[in-house]
Amino acid sequence: SKARETPDVAGKRLQAQLDAMCPSLQPAPHPRGYPVNRDEMDELCEDDDERSRLQQAIDSSAQGDCPLCQRVTLKPESTGLAAQWKVDLARLEWTLAHVTPACLHCCTASNTDALLNAALSVSDSAGEAALQGVSVHVLAANGHAQDKGELVQAALNVGHSIKILAGNLPCRVVNVKDKTFLAPGEVPALCIAMLASARAGGGKQT
């Protein structure tokens, strides 16, 4: 029964639910205090030199259509950065799984907190339209009909459940390559390296 589930088993069950609902674009949780978007990365850069190298890496990688939704052509003024984190509840480890330039709707939709904030900001017609835009985007990117709006809320609930589960455990953030501790201030340099390896490898990040 679910009452006897270990956190690892519960996490895998929840992730499988999220993967089934949103195979291409899903609201994923991230470790507290770590960046998920371009503004947060900028703030963590150690100096202007690193900030400009990050900017250059994003601009060089922002070619063609948004890789998350395949629906929007990326333009410099409307391109964000989506950092996608994964948590392994058996190892109690967070890793930065993927980082990519993305359209602004995908940047919101690919993070639990950002999507939740968009849902909570619906106090006027502008907020309503913004959330509607993101919801339409999530459904289309995952191949769902536009009348399945409740599916976006369901996916958000599952993503939030994974976040709560991980937040109650002593998970550490590690570099996926060598499993050493990864500090928030080290993430921009890691992102620059991941973007460079994706360009060199035709989209694959190593």
> Consecutive sets of 10 residues in the chain, 206 residues long: mean pLDDT of each?
81 97 95 95 97 95 91 90 95 96 94 92 82 91 92 95 96 93 97 93 60
Bridge partners, 65 (sequence order): 73
Tokens 């990326």, located at residue = 74
In this structure, are residues 92 and 115 in contact, taking their beta carbons and an 8 Å threshold? no
Q: What is the pLDDT of residue 206?
A: 46
Between CA 138 and CA 145 the distance in angstroms is 10
Between CA 104 and CA 118 the distance in angstroms is 12
Q: What is the pLDDT of residue 64?
A: 93
What is this structure's pTM? Answer: 0.89
Q: What is the pLDDT of residue 202?
A: 66
Q: Name the amino acid, one letter, at 191.
A: C
Q: What is the pLDDT of residue 205?
A: 56
Tell me the pLDDT tens digit for each residue of 22-69: 999 999 999 999 999 999 999 999 999 999 999 999 999 998 999 998
Between CA 119 and CA 90 the distance in angstroms is 31
Q: What is the pLDDT of residue 24?
A: 92
Integer-rounded Cα Rg, in Å, for the chain is 17
Q: Please list the alpha-helical segments (H only) found in 145-186.
A: 149-167
Cα first-last separation, the chain: 38
Q: What is the pLDDT of residue 4?
A: 82
In this structure, are residues 103 and 132 in contact, taking their beta carbons and an 8 Å threshold? no
In this structure, are residues 191 and 58 in contact, taking their beta carbons and an 8 Å threshold? no
| Ramachandran sector of residue 92 (left: φ over 0; alpha: ψ -120 to 50; beta: rest) | left
In this structure, are residues 51 and 42 in contact, taking their beta carbons and an 8 Å threshold? yes
